[in-house]
Chains A and B, each alone.
Chain A
Amino acid sequence: MISATASGVGNPVFIVGSSTGKDGIHGAAFASKDITEDSMDDLPAVQVGDPFQEKLLLEATLELAKTDAVVGMQDMGAAGITCSTCEMSAAGKVGMKIDLDKVPTRQKGMKDWEILLSESQERMLVVVEKGKEAIVQAIFDKWDLNCAEIGSVTDDGMVEFSYEGRIAACVNADSLVLGGGAPIYEREYKAPAYYEAYKKFSIDSVKEPESLVEVADFLLSHPNIASKKWIYEQYDSMVGAGTMSTNKPTDAGIVNVKGTDKALAMTVDCNSRYVNADPEVGCAIAVSEAARNIACSGGHPSAITNCLNFGNPYNPESYWQFVGSIKGMSAACEKFNTPVTGGNVSFYNQSVIDGIEVPVFPTPTIGMLGIVEDKDRIMSLDFKQKGDLIFQIGKTVNDIASSEYLYSYHNVKASPAPYFNLEEEFAMQQTVKGLIENKLVNAAHDCADGGLFVTLAEMSMPNELGFDIVTDSEVREDAFLFGEAQGRVVVTVENETEEDFLDFMIASNVPFTLLGHVTQGKMNVDEVNYGFSSEAKKQFDSALGNIMNKN
């Protein structure tokens, strides 16, 4: 493992990879500005990425990591050379002397500040053990990449940049880094009026439609719910020959760890509609849903990263959404024991329409990584055979708040986040993991966007099987089928294992319901036919492509 820390006074500092150009100057600052008609003027602030150079740098870096020549290494992101030199120095409590004349540049006549702030991509800063420079040089020569010694490590904590025979800048490294001298702001925040108003929503204000078959049809073709195949088929999902979900559909993506019993489970989640309705609950749901995906696949959550997209932080209401999200994320991460290993924050995601700021829905996207200890216990989501029993793990709630059904079908935008209880969610997930470990279920799929009906339809489609279920008279039928109350997973059980399954569930104290059984292909609810899964699959798979191709 290589750390992004500089150490060892006198060790040489190298810049490797692409040349430094005038692209991406003030790039990070640009990313935090409103996009307007005048944004074209800021074009030089946009970094021009080159995946080919990135691939070469990646390969060379991996080769370099196998040697003992590297003391520390960091990629160059926001604020380019300035940031990487100061962060690496501060982390190692050292300084650096850097000669900007030695930085390979893409064009002549670049100013010192341009070299310092350029965010040209595909560059790394590497501190090398003195005497081992030739090892590094040979690797980068092999890959035809730049490799220039631009300075050395000093002991005074100052980072000094010289250019054309003079000192261009000299700063205390610590003063620029988080946890060091960089300032911490306490911004003002306040709950927007809509927050309390949304909470007044009552399910009784919504009339149950005559035909729920029509609702099911609407949801399966809705772009928020329909298959995202049209998008993901445009990316290589199989390179590395380790993707275990290609031929075995799972809730989380599974990547093989070759030569071991283990696999990695990965998932990304965030329903910004929930976060907008209630940032704290919505963001806790995002973490919980990610963990649920991993649990359903046979894994254990390990850690999260995030991508936090919000409006203007100077707007107290936007900042309130941010504060709430972080609180919700912390609570859920502590419960699932998943540290936040990194991430990024993007503010000012808004459009200015007629002089009014319209922020995006607060979108704290959670990327979770989990470990599957035993590859033989990976659980898939597809129904396996006719006759298997279908159970819901977790409780049924008379709730349609913030569901796609309420929001898009009924066009009711004002409702709180759906039902959610972190303790119940956690207990339910532990139970699902236990069921999988003990081989008591043969499919597991979480209940999420679109509610129970969509979950069942998604489980039906891969093998073109179906389901025959009955609803619960205690709750409204639309809430039962399309409500998005959290903390639920659907599993199927073979008849022979039913008894063991029931024993395990009773001992777990987690509520569960027998919904019905798997059929040859027909989708039936309370003896009403919702069509065949083969037809639903066609509709579900093609809906997004049809919309995209229309425009």
Chain B
Amino acid sequence: MKFGVITFPGSNCDKDMVYVLRDIMNLEVEELWHKDQNLKGADVIVLPGGFSYGDYLRSGAIANFSPVMKEVITHANNGGYVLGICNGFQILCESGLLEGTLLHNNNQKFICKNTYLKPISKTAPLTKDLDSEKAYKIPIAHGEGRFFANEQTLKSLEENDQILFQYCDESGAITTEANPNGALKNIAGICNKNKNVFGMMPHPERAADKELRNEDGKIIFETWFNLIK
């Protein structure tokens, strides 16, 4: 299985993602450039965090028009796996591969801190084998991370088991206090109906190195990769 990590101008978590996949998890990684016209044989595409195109207009709005995104959309529509983290999630929402949108945090401030996530979806490969009783410690770092969708979309996300993670407290309780940004229903990540395109605001790649004393993100990656390899 080959991974493709895309660098957009302004991406700043691309190298961290490559480091985790290649150096920590010993996986094959292709570094992709936003001007690339093909995905170089990658099976799983990762859109990393950062501030692509300076977050001008709206976060993720301009990256959606990068040449490589045409390929990503085709790949996704053919059932290929795509994971968007933080800015990558915003780009996936802008591209229409994922539903809903990401608004400014309700305190109108950028927030960087550890949060806890509860895996929800029992059918999405990213979460189905995770421990649903465990609160995974994964950091966030965003200014526009408040997930929002209209009632109808939310209903269909719930009915189709598309909610990947909800923010919770250290003990796993999904509370208002544990919601860092005001996201609808504490939603931290979702997937598409077909369950091959995933988006999440928290950064599992920042919690995947034992030297940083938190490997909860690595558990999420491993559980998923074991299922799809």
Where the two chains meet, the residues of A that have a C-beta atom closer than 8 Å to any C-beta of B are 50-53, 55-56, 142-144, 232-244, 246-248, 256, 258-259, 375
Are A241 and B54 touching (Cβ within 8 A)? no
- Among B74-82, B111-119, B171-179, the stretch that binds chain A is B111-119
Q: Within 8 Å CB of A244, what residues of B?
A: 211-213
CA distance A258 to B206 in the complex (A): 14
- Among B9-17, B92-100, B124-132, B187-195, the stretch that binds chain A is B9-17
Are A233 and B112 touching (Cβ within 8 A)? yes
Q: Within 8 Å CB of B54, what residues of A?
A: 50-53
B225 within 8 Å of A by Cβ? no
A133 to chain B, nearest CB (A): 22
CA distance A246 to B214 in the complex (A): 9
Are A55 and B19 touching (Cβ within 8 A)? no
Closest 5 CB pairs of A and B: A52-B54, A241-B16, A247-B213, A236-B141, A236-B112
Q: Within 8 Å CB of A239, what residues of B?
A: 12-13, 16, 141
CA distance A171 to B224 in the complex (A): 65
A52-B10, A56-B9, A233-B113 are known contacts. Are A238 and B19 too (CB-CB below 8 A)?
no
Given contacts A56-B10, A236-B112, 8 further A-B contacts (CB under 8 A): A51-B54, A234-B109, A234-B110, A236-B141, A238-B206, A241-B19, A241-B209, A244-B213
B205 within 8 Å of A by Cβ? yes
B146 within 8 Å of A by Cβ? no
B9, B51, B206: which contacts A241 (Cβ < 8 A)? B206
- The listed residue with most B CB atoms (<10 A of its CB), out of A53, A235, A241, is A241
CA distance A244 to B53 in the complex (A): 29
A381 to chain B, nearest CB (A): 14
Q: Within 8 Å CB of A256, what residues of B?
A: 209, 211-212
Q: Within 8 Å CB of B23, what residues of A?
A: 258-259
Q: Within 8 Å CB of A52, what residues of B?
A: 9-10, 51, 53-56
Are A248 and B213 touching (Cβ within 8 A)? yes
Q: Within 8 Å CB of A56, what residues of B?
A: 9-10
Are A241 and B112 touching (Cβ within 8 A)? no
Q: Within 8 Å CB of B206, what residues of A?
A: 238, 241
Number of interface residues of B (CB under 8 A): 32
B9, B12, B112: which contacts A234 (Cβ < 8 A)? B112
CA distance A144 to B34 in the complex (A): 12
A55, A235, A236, A375: which contacts B10 (Cβ < 8 A)? A55
Are B111 and A234 touching (Cβ within 8 A)? yes
B46 within 8 Å of A by Cβ? no
A52-B56, A234-B109 are known contacts. Are A243 and B10 too (CB-CB below 8 A)?
no
B139 within 8 Å of A by Cβ? yes
Q: Within 8 Å CB of A375, what residues of B?
A: 211
Of all chain A residues, which has the CB nearest B52?
Answer: A52
B157 within 8 Å of A by Cβ? no
CA distance A51 to B203 in the complex (A): 22
Q: Within 8 Å CB of B139, what residues of A?
A: 238, 246
- The listed residue with most A CB atoms (<10 A of its CB), out of B16, B23, B56, B212, is B212
A52-B51, A235-B110, A238-B141 are known contacts. Are A144 and B9 too (CB-CB below 8 A)?
yes
CA distance A55 to B15 in the complex (A): 14
B12, B111, B209: which contacts A233 (Cβ < 8 A)? B111
B20 within 8 Å of A by Cβ? yes
B181 to chain A, nearest CB (A): 12
- Mark out the residues of chain B between 34 and 73 whose CB falls within 8 Å of any chain A CB in the assembled complex: 51, 53-56
Of all chain A residues, which has the CB nearest B112?
Answer: A236
Of all chain A residues, which has the CB nearest B203?
Answer: A238
Q: Within 8 Å CB of A235, what residues of B?
A: 110, 112
Are B12 and A241 touching (Cβ within 8 A)? no
CA distance A53 to B10 in the complex (A): 9
CA distance A55 to B16 in the complex (A): 16
B60 to chain A, nearest CB (A): 14
CA distance A241 to B141 in the complex (A): 12
The 6 listed contacts between A and B (C-beta, < 8 Å) are A55-B9, A235-B110, A236-B110, A241-B212, A247-B212, A258-B211
B86 to chain A, nearest CB (A): 10
For B6-34 the 0/1 string (1 means CB < 8 A from A) is: 00011011011001100100000000010
CA distance A204 to B203 in the complex (A): 55
Are A247 and B20 touching (Cβ within 8 A)? no
